[in-house]
A and B are shown apart, each in its own frame.
Chain A
Amino acid sequence: MTPRVAAMTRIVLGLVVVLLLAACTSDGGSDLDGSGDGPDARTVKAEMDAEAEAVLPDLVGRLGGQFNGMQATFLERGGFGIWDYTASGSLVKPSGTMTESLAAVEGVLEEHGYAVETDDAQRRVTGTKGNVTVIAQASLLTAEKKGSGLNVRIGVSGIQDGDDFAESAPAEDYLAFVQ
């Protein structure tokens, strides 16, 4: 490496470190302070809560069984000022086999306008619609018998705006949508 290239490399490296420092603070980075194109935390919450209220009752109605967990909360990734709004839970005692349950999830998500992908090896169905992603997968990879449980997750990832709202928003109990 020539001295000129080495010097340039150091300059670039320095620049990247500066970018890193700027980006890695809660109020640093141009898109982390509210000027970005992505949705803010308040908008995301409204969108996901509405989706959950619409989709979860249909999932339980079609699959049977009972949910546990499903408390929707904002969590920050490290101290990066990037937030995820997610609710995770398990559906226990569904009425069908695992194959039937995953097919039912696929059907419900498609009816609600989700773009659906399936991964047979991972016994998983993933649906996306707007900012929201719904993932349902077998709790045990080899489970097939009737009543085998599923892990279900509904979430929006990588929210960059709305720190104050995300920090103070109370948990939303999605179990209330299915009782």
Chain B
Amino acid sequence: MTTIMVPAHVSAIAEMEATSAASAVTTGLRSTGTTMSDVADWMTAHGAPDDWTGDAAEAADHAMTGYARDTAAATAAFTRVAAACDRYVDRIVALTTVREGLVSRRTRLNQDIDDLHTRIAQSTADDVAALEAQSRALQGRADRLVDDITALWDDVEAAEDRLIEAFRAVDTTGEGADAADRDTTDVSALRSELTALGGDPDAINEWWEGLTRAEQEALKISDPDLVGNTNGIPTGDRDEANRTSLDRDLDRLTAKQEAGEDLTQAEQRLLDRARAAQTSLDIPAANGLPDVDGDGVGDPVDVNLLVYQPGAFGGDGAVAVSYGDPDTADNTAVIVPGITNDGTTIPGNAADAYTLYQQAIRNGESAATIAWMGYDAPSWNPENALDWPGDGLDMGSVAREDKAIEGGASLADFVDGLRSTDEGDRSHLSVIGHSYGSTTAAHAAHDHGLDADSLTLIGSPGAGGNDVDHASDLGMPEGRVYVGAADNDFVTWLGRDGDLGMGRDPAQEDFGATVFPVAPGEEFHADDLGQGVDNHTSYFDPSTNQQSLDNLSAIVRGDEPEVTTGRTQDANDMALDWVKDEVVHQVEKEIEEGRQEIEDIYDGGRDWVGDRVDDFSDLWP
């Protein structure tokens, strides 16, 4: 009997303790650095109060200068460790990929070992030589795998050591001050250079890529609002900067609340918008991570905060959240919401974007879907209805195109920014405008040459301006203006030629767009306007308008949606028909209610007479 030595199974590879979630620590460090930087700037600029004089003022100035110097040292320390932490996270992400490869190799190897055991059990003496050769080959694979696993843990330990060393290097005020002294980064010069580029995203991208990592990190800490909201800066850097600002706002305002202090109205609005942004960032964790690659684990979603300006547009706020990284995605979609939206309503739009993301990646390609609330849409907080000329005026602008025209310029710039930071093969980029957002997107296309591969208008009140008579006037590639319009969406009855309204109804057959079918929505009456609004807001809803969502998903993937014929009835005539039918309906309803009332009175009277007759009968037996 011959004994064949088969290698033992390779043991399971331990999970890594650190994950890419460690980036939250980086954000925290950066946020603290930003707060320190703000404090140092303020103290340097202000000194003692103006009405202080004499020794007290001099002493205060001296103390504040010293404190500002210490604060600058702390800022330098936080800048250093944030950069180190950033490098550590990058390394951990890379090593996680290495580990996943080793796990796959181990699974295959152990299976091959099991298979060899099976073959040995079924073998004869003639097979021994071949089986021994197979066993030696497996042993070689096992040895190499064990070596590679050992190297992985060595690399993990080295990354941790470098991070620890970075923290130790600046863990005293003196070391922080040394770091500040050694730091030759002139942040104000960098800020000036960036501003001088005039918003050209290609030039900004080239300039940014030319900075050292230390310079990028210093600017993210000193000016997170600038870095986070400048088109042309890569998505990952914008996200890091904006999360820094978001953390700063949440920390400051919740701390104030927890201390029992009242927030001003402006602070409360800012906090509401910050919380809305945070809720949007958390959507994938709450709504699940799809397992597209079939490895039995939900695939992580790269969530990016691309715009965060909670005080923009008179406090309405600007925000954009991306599910997936548009810099690397095969397919990218920008969703432009319409009226009633502002910085606080982003979670609903973000949920739509995430639903679209999950649909878009079902073909196995990567995607990024962005809820972009980067313009001042007409919105109205009913609580402030009397705040003239505040929110009341803001909502009144729904009847005009001013905000769509301004928003169109911002949208075109944002898309130019996405193009400039795009890596590898050019991403297939779709812009989807809903409601007033469709008019905004149409203005971006017509007025600014929107650099997208397709433009989709859903629930549109008009395709913008008097110069857009046909889809070809929007300057998109041939056949790439798509329109979805529910028959019972009353906003789509507003499109018309002429000076009143927001341009032509793009769903008209002679407009020349590619019209895709959507659920018509239920008929509604004046006393059931909620259904009308439901019809207008269901284009991303899989429960009531799966057809629309499937077609939007096809467009985002670069596939053709289903196609239907455009409208031949004028949009305003549809509104007119609804009004006529509604008058008839309401009159019939009144008549029916009146008839029922008379019938009830008659029945009541008859019962009363009957009762009296019975009474008399009782008295007169």
Contacts and interface: CB of A to CB of B under 8 A. Distances in A.
Contacts of B576: 8-9, 12
* Interface bracket on A: 35 or more
B530 interface: yes
If over half of A's interface residues share one DSSP class (helix, strand or loop), that class is named, otherwise mixed; here it is mixed
B288 A69 contact: yes
B289 A69 contact: yes
A104 to B, nearest CB: 17
A122 interface: yes
A19 B526 contact: yes
Interface stretch (A49-57, A87-95, A107-115): A87-95
B399 interface: yes
Interface string B253-294: 000000000000000000000000000000011111111111
B534 A160 contact: yes
Contacts of B500: 10, 13
Contacts of A68: 288-289, 298
Contacts of B290: 90, 139, 149, 151
Given A32-B530, A68-B288, A157 B538 contact: yes
A138 B362 contact: yes
Contact of A77 (B348, B363, B496, B528): B348
B427 interface: no
B530 A92 contact: no
Contacts of A70: 288
A96 interface: no
A25 B501 CA distance: 20
A153 B576 CA distance: 39
A20 B491 contact: yes
Nearest to A26: B382
A122 B292 CA distance: 15
Interface stretch (B144-152, B474-482, B539-547): B539-547
A15 B579 contact: yes
A143 interface: yes
A30 B527 contact: yes
Given A25-B380, A90-B291, 18 more contacts: A17-B494, A24-B339, A27-B382, A28-B382, A31-B527, A31-B530, A32-B530, A36-B530, A38-B530, A78-B340, A79-B379, A82-B533, A122-B550, A126-B546, A139-B292, A140-B362, A141-B364, A151-B290
Interface of B: 284-294, 296-298, 337-342, 344-345, 347-349, 351, 355, 358, 362-364, 379-382, 395, 398-399, 490-491, 493-494, 496, 500-501, 526-534, 536-538, 541-544, 546, 550, 572, 575-576, 579
21 contacts: A10-B500, A12-B572, A13-B572, A20-B490, A24-B340, A24-B380, A28-B382, A30-B526, A30-B528, A31-B530, A67-B288, A69-B285, A69-B286, A71-B286, A75-B348, A88-B287, A89-B287, A122-B550, A141-B362, A156-B543, A158-B531
